[in-house]
């Protein structure tokens, strides 16, 4: 016998088809669930998605300057650089009027932008604008705008200034990203290496990466035994040990950094002891701070708790009987550790490692203070451009690259270890 069920005929007690009624109930549930998470969602969108989106937008945005000099840039694109040494008369003419009639503040903002493309634009345009306004006030119409500009300042006859327009003539450009890896645009708009004496970003990127990897490894080497002790000692000892871990963690970052300077400097505690012991001579005191070594040592100590705590919380729940069982079955202690204990701590190592690495790659204050000669990381440069040069486009590009690196690492990590393997306790 064949049984057919026709859902269309199933009705609830109040005569509404069951399917419809179920859908309604489900919709209500969904709405309720959405309303519950809405505050969190709103919070994340406002404080996380929007700022990061805005930052990424800024890293490719050049619309402000394009709104100040639209005609100049349009004419500029018609300049045949192979044929003429200097841009055509129309470029000078457009610039003349855009400087004469433009809003002072908008021009001011554009100047800050222009100065990133080539140093010296700022005062050149300011001086020129003053002269142009005088000419306009007198009511004179220049015969040749080009000659007028060059008469005001000889730099207007210098094509290198004009070449730098290449970097700004489009609303959207990738110049900030190129700048962030020591590259710039040539006179023809090709991407070329920055002047050799100014190249420092690639070096800093590699250093940031290197320091972060080293700090993570050192933290693991130092943190693993400590976490193991914490998890296995009797409670009264482990509590005391925990305080030793947490006390520095609660101490101000600046205090800890300064303490390291006192310890490591050439007339500091460690060098003093080494000289007293006769290990190094008085003249041969070690340079351990104000360089990369100082950054490594101080950052490792400061980030250590971020490795110990996740490790500890994972190790605490590993039953001690596992190791005993392994040894009981014939494994030597080392083998039992390697094959039985270590694999169970992987979630803690992952969590700690990722935490330390993420914190280290964007670290700022400690490297700034103890980094000196060659221990500064990319974070210092983001701060520098944010505050001092106001080159927020470059800031955003540096931040964007940092974000990209993190996403790639996260993806790799997920491929190799699996993200659900992370455990904080």
Q: Which residues bind other proteins (CB under 8 A)?
A: 104-105, 107-109, 111-112, 115-116, 119-123, 126, 197-200, 203-204, 261, 265-268, 290, 368-369, 371-374, 376, 381, 384-391
Least distance from C-beta 279 to other proteins, angstroms?
A: 20
Nearer to other proteins, 71 or 112 (CB): 112
| Integer angstrom CA distances of residue 243 from 44, 48, 227, 248, 305 | 34, 34, 13, 9, 11
Least distance from C-beta 253 to other proteins, angstroms?
A: 13
* Structure tokens belonging to residue 24: 């309604």
Least distance from C-beta 191 to other proteins, angstroms?
A: 18
Nearer to other proteins, 13 or 388 (CB): 388
Nearer to other proteins, 147 or 158 (CB): 158
* Structure tokens belonging to residue 20: 């419809």
Least distance from C-beta 290 to other proteins, angstroms?
A: 5
The whole-angstrom separation of Cα 91 and Cα 99 is 12
Least distance from C-beta 259 to other proteins, angstroms?
A: 13
Nearer to other proteins, 331 or 365 (CB): 365
> What's the gap between Cα 360 and its chain centre?
11
The whole-angstrom separation of Cα 146 and Cα 90 is 9
Nearer to other proteins, 133 or 332 (CB): 133
Which DSSP symbol is given to 252?
-
Cβ atoms within 10 Å, residue 265: 19
Least distance from C-beta 243 to other proteins, angstroms?
A: 30
Cβ contact 289:261 at 8 Å: yes
| DSSP structure string for 273-306 | HHHHTTSS-STT----SSSHHHHHHHHHHHHHHH
Nearer to other proteins, 183 or 228 (CB): 183
* Residue 184, helix vs strand vs coil: strand
The whole-angstrom separation of Cα 296 and Cα 356 is 13
Q: Which helix (H) or strand (E) holds 176?
A: helix 175-179
Least distance from C-beta 394 to other proteins, angstroms?
A: 9
Nearer to other proteins, 119 or 144 (CB): 119
């Amino acid at each position: 016998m064949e049984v057919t069920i026709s859902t269309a005929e199933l009705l609830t007690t109040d005569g509404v088809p069951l399917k419809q009624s179920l859908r309604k109930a489900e919709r209500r549930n969904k709405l309720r669930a959405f309303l519950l998470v809405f505050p969190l969602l709103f919070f994340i969108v406002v404080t996380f998605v929007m700022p990061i989106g805005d930052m990424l937008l800024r890293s490719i945005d050049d619309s402000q300057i394009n709104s100040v000099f639209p005609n100049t840039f349009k004419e500029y694109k018609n300049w045949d650089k192979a044929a003429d040494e200097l841009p055509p008369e129309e470029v000078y003419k457009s610039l003349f009027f855009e400087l004469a009639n433009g809003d002072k503040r908008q021009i001011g903002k554009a100047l800050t932008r222009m100065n990133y493309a080539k140093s010296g634009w700022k005062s050149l345009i300011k001086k020129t604008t003053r002269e142009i306004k005088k000419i306009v006030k007198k009511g004179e119409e220049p015969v040749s705008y080009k000659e007028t500009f060059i008469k005001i300042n000889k730099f207007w006859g210098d094509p290198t200034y004009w070449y730098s327009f290449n970097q700004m003539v489009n609303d959207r450009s990738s110049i900030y990203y190129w700048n962030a890896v020591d590259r710039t645009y040539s006179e023809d708009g090709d991407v070329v290496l920055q002047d050799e004496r100014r190249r420092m970003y690639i070096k800093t990127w590699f250093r940031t990466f290197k320091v972060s990897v080293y700090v993570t490894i050192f933290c693991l080497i130092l943190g693993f035994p400590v976490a193991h002790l914490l998890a296995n000692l009797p409670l009264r000892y482990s509590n005391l040990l925990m305080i030793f871990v947490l006390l520095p963690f609660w101490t101000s970052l600046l205090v800890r950094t300064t303490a390291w300077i006192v310890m490591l400097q050439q007339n500091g505690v460690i060098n003093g002891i080494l000289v007293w012991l006769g290990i190094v001579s008085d003249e041969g005191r070690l340079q351990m701070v104000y360089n990369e070594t100082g950054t490594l040592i101080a950052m490792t100590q400061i980030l250590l708790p971020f490795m110990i705590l996740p490790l500890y919380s994972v190790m605490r729940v590993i039953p001690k009987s596992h190791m005993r069982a392994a040894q009981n079955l014939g494994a030597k202690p080392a083998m039992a550790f390697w094959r039985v204990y270590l694999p169970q701590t992987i979630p803690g190592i992952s969590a700690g490692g990722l935490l330390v690495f993420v914190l280290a790659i964007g670290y700022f204050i400690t490297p700034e203070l103890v980094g000196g000669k060659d221990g500064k990381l990319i974070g210092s440069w983001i701060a520098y451009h944010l505050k001092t040069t106001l080159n927020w486009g470059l800031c955003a590009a540096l931040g964007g690259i940092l974000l990209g690196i993190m996403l790639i690492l996260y993806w790799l990590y997920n491929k190799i270890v699996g993200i659900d393997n992370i455990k904080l306790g």
